[in-house]
Amino acid sequence: MGFSRWVFLICSLLMISPITFCCLTSKEASEIPINFLDFAKKAEFFDWMVGVRRKIHENPELGYEEFETSKLIREELDKMGIPYKHPFAVTGVVGYVGSGEPPFVALRADMDALPMQEMLEWEHKSKNPGKMHACGHDAHVAMLLGAARILQEHRQSLKGTVVLVFQPAEEGGGGAKKMIDAGAIENVKAIFGLHVNPGLPVGKVESRPGPLLAANGFFEAVISGKGGHAAIPQHSIDPILAASNVIVSLQHLVSREADPLDSQAITVGKFQGGGAFNVIPDSVTIGGTFRAFSKESFMQLRRRIEEVIVGQATVQRCNATVDFLFHEKPFYPATVNDKDLHNHFLKVAGDIVGTHNVKEMQPLMGSEDFSFFQEVMPGYFFFLGMKDGKATKPASLHSPYFKINEDGLPFGAALHASLATRFLLERNSEVPLLNQNLHDEL
């Protein structure tokens, strides 16, 4: 009996598709994304994803409070017959599709909303006052559940295991770090994540190898002086004047101490002090963020921010204390895409949307806690087009008028599923061990 017939016979007896053991041709591999996209565009499948997304959108929950969102995810995984573990980091869920054996590749979605009031009037507007999915995390969850359903339907084609990571608290809470610390991604060889982009048309994607998003940290400083009446300032020590000098000096860290080719940013967005026109207050509180693309530059900024605030306050006869709020708002590392995974992304995304719709973007100074995963394994993060075709000027992320174009959901689900499936196939591109054993026995 010929070798191929032995493989077919064994597969038939085990009721497993021969694709599990037989190597795909490059043409067959390139057809996987299109097949998955066609599957995701089916009316029933699309309507289901839209329904999931709208349920989450109507019930937004802040970081580490995503109890109903987590429950919905588990219910959907139960319906699909996908095993999972819960909880990780309070509300996190991790599902498993495939053989249950190595290699393992992960797909990640964040679940949390933002503390803001939705101003957009529509049927599925947020029902939780002061909370809104203004960053697309509702769509992220829906697309990862969509990918889970695609993968489960084609699980016998998976040459390994896809780990589905639903994480809490991306918006400043460092949920990814807590998922890692809880052991959510043990033995995973690579991880993929995406983010919606309301300014990019549906059917287009963008990313880049290397640094994509900046490291980010927060700081808050209390500058204390001596309050008094505005008519006799000589009897006071003015913390508002001191804080103003501090803010100007902080900008010099970027304009005069940083290499112009090493992008950095410091922004003071908080300034609180005084409540009367004619009274000098006792103290002022300022706060903001600092960002850089390299760890060295980031830590240099951190050190110099504290030195400048304390030093400039002293010059103005004030005292200052600086808090980097690490326990409340942990520092986010830079999001740095693995170069090999970038090549993988180009191939898979090119097959699904066409190479002309895969754009290489410039780095952004925004941050993303997906970077915590990339510190412990190769990772890749990309942006998915979700532009509303009817809007001439779409609302940006974190806007109370933010809106998702749900036509983009099938692309995200199919890309997720395709990136994972093709990664596992490529990791097993050599002749499988089972085939080698059969050949030896024959």
Letter string b/e over residues 81-110, b meaning 16 or more CB atoms within 10 A of that residue's CB: ebebeeebbbbbbbbbbbbeeebbbbbbbb
356 is in an annotated binding site: no
375 is in an annotated binding site: no
135 is in an annotated binding site: yes
| Angle (nearest 5°) at CA 341 between 336 and 345 | 110
Residues 6+ apart with CB under 8 A from 237: 225, 226, 316, 317, 318
Question: Which of 81, 86, 60, 57 is closest to 71 using CA atoms?
Answer: 86
- For 44, 64, 90, 332, 371, the CA distances from 170, given in Å and listed in that order, are 31, 10, 13, 10, 11
Rounded CA gap, 237 and 234, in Å? 8
Rounded CA gap, 307 and 121, in Å? 47
360 is in an annotated binding site: no
235 is in an annotated binding site: no
Residues 6+ apart with CB under 8 A from 32: 351, 418, 421, 422
Please enumerate, by residue number, every residue annotated as part of a binding site for Mn(2+): 135, 137, 171, 195, 398
Residue numbers in the known binding site are 135, 137, 171, 195, 398
